Each structure stands twice: as structure tokens, then as C-alpha cells.
Amino acid sequence: MILIPAIDLKEGHCVRLRQGNMDETTVFSDDPVAMAGKWVDQGCGRLHLVDLDGAFKGEPINADVIEEISASFPDLEIQIGGGIRSIETVEAYLEAGVNYVIIGTMAVKRPEFVTQRCQERHGRNPRLGRGIRA
């Protein structure tokens, strides 16, 4: 079994939403990099990040925080979701050191987006469940 801690990001803070409502937020930390460090100190090998602002706006909003976490913990595997709706966004995250991108909305609205991206990275017969990895 693999346990993957998660940090949801909203306006640069670590949060939880009440029943998915962006207006009902509990802030757990004002410092996502320090929170990632706490997980790393506890032995976490992979961290799941969600750009909630990005998910709702359809484009990355907290990319700077995600890049800072990646730079601060280069041995930590990072997977990111939220607002990933273009090849450019995928590439920017991979270039920033993110290991996995999670594509949700585009996978439902345009499944060929995922298939094309996986084929570019993994050849003719991608296994979509394996995801896009740097």
C-alpha cells in the first residue's frame, strides 16, 4: 500500500473545502512549503498537490507555490492536479520538477488530449493509468 499525503492549495494556503464549496474554507497553514517539509520529515516519498483555484478557474493559479515545493524537495515525487488543461501547462509542471500530472476535466471533455499527450511521452500504445511522467 502507498499512502500519499495531500495538500490542497487555495490563494497560496493549505486548505480544506467544506463539501467542495470554495466559500467554506478551513486554512490549515499559510506556508505550503513548510507543510510539505513536515510530510517529508515524516517519511513521505510522494506528495499529492491540488491547485483548487486552478481547478475552478481552468488554469494554474498556484504554480509558483508548486514550483517552490518542487525546488525545496528535489527527491520528493510530486503529483499535481487542478487547472491542467493545456500541453503548455503539462510541460511547465514537468519542467518545474513535478513527476506526475493529473488531468481531470480535459480527460472527460477531450479524452484525445490525454491519449495524445501519453503517446508523445510513451509511444504508440500508452497505458493511460500510468499517467504522464517526466
- pLDDT for the residue 98: 96
Specify the DSSP class assigned to residue 129. G
CATH code of the domain covering residue 33: 3.20.20.70
Asked whether residue 112 is assigned to any structural domain, the reply reads yes
Contacts 24+ apart (CB under 8 A), 12-16: 12/62, 12/65, 15/52
| Domain range for 79 | 6-133
Q: List, for the chain, all residue ranges whose pLDDT scores fall below the cut of 70.
A: 122-134
Count Cβ neighbours within 10 Å for each residue of 107-119 and write b for 16 or more, e otherwise.
eeeeeebbeebbe
- pLDDT for the residue 127: 45
Asked whether residue 83 is assigned to any structural domain, the reply reads yes
- pLDDT for the residue 46: 97
- pLDDT for the residue 124: 53
- pLDDT for the residue 101: 92
- pLDDT for the residue 126: 44
Asked whether residue 113 is assigned to any structural domain, the reply reads yes
- pLDDT for the residue 77: 97
Asked whether residue 72 is assigned to any structural domain, the reply reads yes
Asked whether residue 114 is assigned to any structural domain, the reply reads yes
Q: How many domains does the chain have?
A: 1
Strand, helix or coil for residue 55: helix
Asked whether residue 1 is assigned to any structural domain, the reply reads no
